Structure formats: C-alpha cells, structure tokens
Structure 1
C-alpha cells in the first residue's frame, strides 16, 4: 500500500511539473536576407513548432545578421548568448571535421539526393557530435547548389579559372578543393563579398543561385557557370543547455517540426533555382552549362581532395559511401 501511495505521489508530482511548465520563446538568428532559403527554413520551423506545440514553443526570427554574422552566430549558439540559428554547416567543421562530409565536391547528385542524405543515419551520426560542443542539431537543410560567378568573362574550362581571386567560405576543405582547381581561393566573411566583387578585390565567387538573388550579386556579376560542385547546407541548431531545460513535450515538438520541414524546404530551393535562372536570363547575364569535358576536368581536380577528406574520419567515409549509391532523380 505504501509503495502504491509513493508511486501515486511521484506521478502526481511529475504531472504537476509538466502541467506547470512555462511556454518558451526562443530567439533564432541567421546571417542572410529574407529572400534566402535559410530564412525560409527558419520560417518553416517557426510555423511547424508553434503548430505542433500548440503555442507552447514560439520562435522569434532575427534575419540578416541582426544577431551576428556566420562566425558570431556559431559561437553565440555554442555558448548560449543566442538560443538558435540556421547557419552554414561549414562554420562548424573546425569543431567537428566530420561535418565536411556534407560538402564533399560531387558527393550528392541532386536535390532529391540531398533530402535522402539529410534524413539518413549517416547525417544524424555527424550531427550528434555537436552535442559535445554545447549544441543540438535538430536537422540539416539547404541553401542551394553552388556554382561559379565571375565579374569578368564566363568560365568554360578549367583553364579559364586559373588564378582567379575567388571567394570561398573560411573552411580548410574549400581552400584545398579550390587550390586543386587552380583558382586563387580567398577566404572572406559572407557579409563582405558584395563590396569585394564591386571593388575588384575578387574576380569571382563560388556561390548558390539563391544568394546571387538575395544578395543582389547580379548587380555586379557578369556571368555564371553552372558547375554545381556541392550544396550549401545549414544546420538548425539550438543551445544544448537551453534545449535540456525544456520539457520532454517541448523537445519532442521541436524535433518533430525539424524533421517535418526537411523535404519541403529542400525542394522549394530547387524550384527557386529555376526562378533565379529565369531572372538572370531577363537581366542578360550569361549562364554557361559546362561541357562534359569541363565537368570531367573539375571532377578530376576535386578527386584527390575528396579522397583526402574521406580518410580523415570514418563518419565522412560512411556518408560519402551512402551518397555514391544514390541514383540521380529523373528530371
């Protein structure tokens, strides 16, 4: 009888704790303008989690570097000065080298393949490592397939790329990959790229079509070559202490919302790419589709770097092996 009474008292106490849990509002910052898919990710998550939790979890979005640029947001969520972010995966590769798997050149064939990999056990194994650094990765989404934009003549061969001062995100693998191609890779913060292209500090930028639109690079870029070297994923991250302070129901709502939005978010980027290509055509900006020979040159240049990074961590090798099994979707 005493045992039953004790269990009943514990259950009542647990119910009271859950019932009295306060609704939570989370501040989510990201580094891009509202026309960019990263903002769309934040909006989709906000709407989904508020619906699933019946308003018990609400999200305030701070776009366009209001809470900091890529690096500042990465550190902010890690150390708890920012609750959440949707931020480039490459910003976290120095913490966890396995994260480079998401952007191995040529690894993921298309947007459909990205959805498969984003939901894979191989991706989850990589994301879970961020918990060792004070963050919980709820999911991985996409900012767009990366291409090559110049302020001068279009590039139509590997030779055309040689020596071009090209902005890359500050990440070791990108430096290695683009050095292998033969450009002059120039690490630079995202918010500085427009002025650098405008003043001639840069000759080119490897960039997604969606950023060409949202950052208005079309105002200064003269040509785009559809090299499609890798995607531009972003983690949806929450500070681990903040996440651990939530009720199990609140945590479950966040995880469910994050999973629910992966496919619609990624496929919306594919659709947006089509619209941006139409916009570039209307602006008279040449868009070059690489020849098979050019594609083969790029793949051959990237291949040693891919092998180098696959050997760094078993999780990279596992992710790459899974991605290589994907069959491109019928277009």
Structure 2
C-alpha cells in the first residue's frame, strides 16, 4: 500500500490549485441598470473576465433579483449570495468606522474621492468587514450629494432652516443635518417622490443621478450644488467563497477591483455634467453655493466630524487624510 506523506499530499494540493476549474460568481445589487452601481458591476465583470481569460465569470443580477440592500448585505455575509455592490451606509451598523466614507464636508470632488478610495486609510476600514465574513474588494461611487428643494434653491444656511428634508436612515446623517438646522426626516427611498409631491417633504439631499433616474425634476424647483458628501458603495464577496479561490484568482479579483475605481468614479462625474445640461433644458435652477454659504455649511458640519473622529481611530485617520485634499483644477 502506498504511504501518503505530507509532501505527497502538499504536491497534490498544489497541483489541484494550479489546474483549478473555472469559477462562476453570482453578483446581485438593488438598483436599476441605469444606476452607477450597475455600471460598477459591469466594469468589474469585464475586467475580471479579461484578466482571467474567461476562467472567472461574473453573472450580474440587478434590480433586487437577489434581494434588497439589507438582504444582499446578509446574503453575502452568510454565503447565500456570492457578491454584491451595495451602499456603504448599510454597513456602518456592523463597523462604525465605515461612516468615515460619508463624513460631511470633507471630500471636495470626484478626484478627491478616487484618492481616498485607493488610500491606505480606506483599506484599513474595508478590512474590518472580514470580521463579518465579507471581503471588500473596493469602494466606488453613486454620485456626489446635493440639496434638492420643491421651492427655490437654497443659497444660505438660513434658507435651509426647518425644511423637512429626507435623509437616509443613518445616525450620522441625522446628526449632520440637525447641525445644519434642517428638519431631517428619515424615509424609505421609494417614498420620496410622493412625499415631495404632496408636500410631506420640502427637500431631499440627493445625487444628481437619482434626480434624473427617479424623475424628481418633475416636482423640484431648485438644486443647490452643496456636494456635502458622496454616496459610496462596496464591492463585496463572501469570505469563504473568496478563500476558496486560488491565490492567482484572488489576485485577479483584487486587480480588477482596483482597476475599475478611477474610470467608474470619473464616469459618474461626466454623467453629472450631462444631467446638469438636462436640468437646464427643463428650466430647473441649478446653483453653485457662494463661498459664504460653503463656509457656513463647513462650520455647521465641523462639530459632527469631530464627534465621529472621536468614535474610532480609523475614522480619525481617514478624516485627517481627507483634510489634506485640495480641489482639482476645473
């Protein structure tokens, strides 16, 4: 009888890894195909399949086919879904340091977002998700957020005061907008249109891509380009699934995710410019805040930033790096 030694066993394992079977991964997300999140998924799929010569395939399931934001988060965490591109704000309940990506008033523009998305400070935060059985391959963007009103566009902090404003249900967002003097109103995304239409809401902080895709311009009367924070999303894979890949396959996944960051984010910037033109054609006022208004907002948000910096050193590190950013030349 042949004796199986440790060396023979290791050789067999290495041989198996070298001749690993092709892999197909299922990636779900919760938005329509016109959204930047879908664009992220498409760009990642194309990069992975190119770099792997087709040995790794990504099947994309958009529009909540595999679940909504919460169901996708839990699906990837527990392994019933292989991968997702999902809003970062959904994960701050698991890891508070994730709030760093949306600290108000810190990242000035899309170029700055790219810098921070590729930074060691961002990587340190993303690595925390491995404590929850997920590997974050990268962080991307769905659009810089602005202030949309059913009345005239706001042009000062005083104009914002007491406006019933929809915010996503996240503690940091509530803190930020209370500090700015608005009346922040958490509300499900799908209810926003009717709430603006009926007067339940006066305003919503939102990205231009959503103003376009959700047709909020049918109700809105003004957009103020406050650019207060971005709407990032993680590209995530279940940790057990990722560990089942060969080292070469894992490297391809990481390289593809990194390759996609800058073109995906800058494509959203280009889309914003197209939407501004469309809003102008619809006679929707789009105004750039004055230097005084920007200073007012920064002053209002500053105590909130300080509060969250004190919560976690990873947030403080991210904020310190973001404060060194300078706006890109226009």
TM-score (norm 1): 0.94
Q: CA deviation at 1:218?
A: 1.7
Q: Within 1, Cα distance between the matches of 2:168 and 2:295?
A: 24
Structure 2 match to 1:214: 213
Structure 2 match to 1:237: 236
Q: How does 1:99-178 map to 2 (within 5 A)?
A: 99-178=98-177
Tell me, what secondary structure is at the counterpart of 1:250?
Answer: helix
Per-residue CA deviation, residues 177-201 of structure 1 (Å, 9 max, x unaligned), is 0011111111223233233323333
Structure 2 match to 1:54: 53
| Structure 2 residue 25 is matched with structure 1 residue 38 | no
Structure 1 match to 2:267: 268
Gaps of 5+ in 2: none
Tell me, what secondary structure is at the counterpart of 2:47?
Answer: helix
Q: How does 1:76-91 map to 2 (within 5 A)?
A: 76-91=75-90
Q: Within 1, Cα distance between the matches of 2:322 and 2:26?
A: 34
CA contact (8 A) 2:108 2:227 kept: no
Tell me, what secondary structure is at the counterpart of 1:290?
Answer: coil
The worse-fitting range, judged by mean Cα deviation, of 208-217 and 142-151 is 208-217
Per-residue CA deviation, residues 102-152 of structure 1 (Å, 9 max, x unaligned), is 111111121111111111110000000000011110000111111011122
Q: Within 1, Cα distance between the matches of 2:232 and 2:164?
A: 24
Tell me, what secondary structure is at the counterpart of 1:22?
Answer: coil
Q: CA deviation at 1:62?
A: 1.7
Say if 1:282 and 1:262 are closer, same or farther in 2 by CA, change over 3 A.
same
Structure 1 match to 2:278: 279
The count of aligned residue pairs is: 327
Per-residue CA deviation, residues 298-330 of structure 1 (Å, 9 max, x unaligned), is 111111101101111111111111111122211
Per-residue CA deviation, residues 38-67 of structure 1 (Å, 9 max, x unaligned), is 111110001001111121211111222222
The worse-fitting range, judged by mean Cα deviation, of 80-89 and 69-78 is 69-78
Structure 2 match to 1:306: 305
Tell me, what secondary structure is at the counterpart of 1:281?
Answer: helix
Q: Within 1, Cα distance between the matches of 2:49 and 2:250?
A: 12
Tell me, what secondary structure is at the counterpart of 1:235?
Answer: strand
Tell me, what secondary structure is at the counterpart of 2:27?
Answer: strand
CA contact (8 A) 1:26 1:58 kept: yes
Q: Within 2, Cα distance between the matches of 1:26 and 1:140?
A: 19
- Please give the root-mean-square deviation of Cα atoms over the aligned residues, in Å: 1.7
CA contact (8 A) 1:70 1:190 kept: no
Q: Within 2, Cα distance between the matches of 1:220 and 1:65?
A: 26
